[in-house]
Amino acid sequence: MNIVALISGRGSNLHAIIKGIEEGKINAKISLVISNKKDAKGLDIAKSYGIEALFLNPKDYKDRKEYDKKLAEVISQKNPDLIVLAGYMRILSPEFIDAFEGKIVNIHPSLIPAFQGLHAQKQAIEFGSKFSGCTVHFVTKDLDNGPIIIQAVVPVLPEDTEETLSQRILKFEHKIYPQAIKWIADGRVSIKGRKVIVKDAKYGTIPVNPALEDF
């Protein structure tokens, strides 16, 4: 499976996916990593593994639609099977999503549909939630609201800050994202409406549902 990854920052989820590929757990390759931020550490991570890394500057384009048009052109040259959003902090245009419908996945630090958008961990704390977590989902035109592949649950503690809750969630992000990508690469994932089924996966487990197999 050929992957293109989009990032904006430190690239920790990207690194987890790359390690899964390097260790032979994920039958895939990442042919290109693109960032909208020049100083994104994820670009350096990609280069350290010999992966092509590109900074595409939004300021060079008049609006989001034009930027995403160029982004789609660059990505299309790689003919990807999957586009992975790994900490990509821009909202994709409807036109971009249409161009790669059903081929874009994202990870979000909440149990969607709860706490969509930015600072989901802070939202959970301020709301008084007793649990939060992370979700891998297919990307649709509804922000952080696409069909769910896998979720992980973590407790929210009375003394939590946005940073401490983020770190607790991140440990599971690094497990469920590569796991979901492996399932997709192995052809085990099917979508029927909003429902995503992973063939032969074990459902009904806590704290991760369906259960982790490889990570």
CATH number at residue 201: 3.40.50.170
Question: Between 12-22 and 162-185, two packed helices, what is the crossing angle to 10 degrees?
Answer: 30
Q: Are residues 62 and 96 in the same domain?
A: yes
Beta bridge partners of 4: 32, 83
Percent of the chain with pLDDT over 70: 100
Count helices and strands in the chain by DSSP H and E runs: 6, 10
Q: Are residues 112 and 197 in the same domain?
A: yes
Q: Are residues 26 and 95 in the same domain?
A: yes
Q: Are residues 26 and 42 in the same domain?
A: yes
Q: pLDDT tens across 127-137, in order?
A: 999 999 999 99
Average pLDDT over residues 107-132: 96
Residue 179 pLDDT more than 90?
yes
Q: Mark whether 108 is an active-site residue.
A: yes
State how far the Cα of 23 lies from the Cα of 197, in Å rounded to an integer: 26
Q: Model pTM?
A: 0.95
Q: pLDDT tens across 120-158, in order?
A: 999 999 999 999 999 999 999 988 889 999 999 999 999
Q: Are residues 14 and 96 in the same domain?
A: yes
Which residue type sits at 24? Answer: G
At which of 101, 122, 151 does a domain end?
Answer: 101
Contact assessment for residue 82 and residue 181, using Cβ atoms and an 8 Å cutoff: yes
At which of 101, 123, 149 does a domain end?
Answer: 101
Residue 44 pLDDT more than 90?
yes
Count of structural domains within the chain: 2
Q: What is the mean pLDDT of the chain?
A: 97
Average pLDDT over residues 74-98: 96
Q: Where are the beta strands (DSSP E) in 139-188?
A: 148-155
| Catalytically annotated residue among 15, 108, 137, 174 | 108
Residue 178: domain span:
108-215
